Amino acid sequence: MKPVLEMKQIHKSFEIGTVNENHVLKGLDLTIYEGDFITIIGGNGAGKSTLMNSIAGSFAVDEGEILLEGKNITKLPTVKRAKDIGRVFQDPRMGTASRLTIEENLAVALKRGKKRGLTSGVKDDQRKIFKESLKRLGLGLEDRMKMEIGLLSGGQRQAVTLLMASLVTPKLLLLDEHTAALDPKTSQMVLDLTEKIVQEENLTAMMITHNMEQAIQYGNRLIMLSEGNIVVDISGEEKEQLTIPELLELFHKNSGTMLNDDALILS
């Protein structure tokens, strides 16, 4: 199996030198392999976002190394990582420009990692590609390409954001609770689209969720964090057969604590 991302002995603290100093990641090791679709789950403050932010480069880690396809990116700023690392956030308004049309947003996404010229606009050949891509979402958006993206519903917008994040195939796709702000039915629709895109494009992806059932249902590998440590890391058949009570039991056994997350959705 080919490693896509390697995190070696990562340390990250916040508010160093104050009474609030918080050592969140304490020597975390994680290797993400090509084709992995990892779901990440854990209690409040377990370090899920800190882990994802470390990968995206939202801040510098204090110690350790991050390699992307063998290349050291530990000190690379977010903008430089964005060429290879796609991200979809919880808030549907992030990652798209509200006043631009659907096709203009897609055109911007197509330029990810390339020098952005002054001339914008959408070319005819691009329009064709966008139409085909949008069709795959099954939401009829291919007939509304000139509509401002800000006018879409949260679910439609997340679906387009997902498409934008995968238009230029990322080496790694980060999904930061990207369905948490949606109602259950829409969340399910966006998750199913996520699975479809990940499978069809052979993407390597990592998804934070608060929903245990979703963490088990989606992806090939499940990681549970507790106090900045990986306490459960299971994949393949073992993951497929897993039930929520077994997962809670594993968490309890490996972390020595009970889950503390009020927001965790058990089913």
Residue the block writes with tokens 């976002």:
49
Q: In what order do the strands lie in the sheet with 63-68?
A: 22-33, 3-14, 63-68, 71-72
Q: Which of 6, 22, 82, 154 binds ligand ATP (CB under 6 A)?
A: 22
Is 14 a residue that touches ligand ATP (CB under 6 A)?
A: yes
CB of 155 to ligand ATP, least distance (A): 22
If one asks whether residue 49 binds ligand ATP (CB under 6 A), the answer comes out as: yes
The answer to whether residue 15 forms part of the interface with ligand ATP (CB under 6 A) is yes
Instruction: Say if strands 172-176 and 85-88 run parallel, antiparallel, or are unpaired.
Output: parallel
Residue 97 in contact with ligand ATP, rule: CB under 6 A: no
Contacts of 220 (CB under 8 A, 6+ apart): 35, 36, 37, 38, 235, 236, 239
Which residue, 9 or 14, is less far from ligand ATP as judged by CB? 14
- Give the integer Cα–Cα distance in Å for 224 and 187: 21
Contact indicator for 200, 32 with CB cutoff of 8 Å: no
Q: At 13, give phi and psi (nearest 5°).
A: -120, 155
- Using the rule CB under 6 A, which residue among 3, 11, 34, 45 binds ligand ATP? 45
Kindly state whether residue 24 participates in binding ligand ATP, applying the rule CB under 6 A.
Answer: yes
Closer by beta carbon to ligand ATP, 15 or else 124: 15
Nearer to ligand ATP, 47 or 57 (CB): 47
Site membership for ligand ATP, residue 186 (CB under 6 A): no
Question: Minimum CB separation from ligand ATP for residue 14, in Å?
Answer: 3
Establish if 44 lies at the interface with ligand ATP (CB under 6 A).
Answer: yes
Cβ neighbours of 112 (radius 10 Å): 16
**Which residues contribute to the site for ligand ATP (CB under 6 A)?**
14-15, 22, 24, 42, 44-50
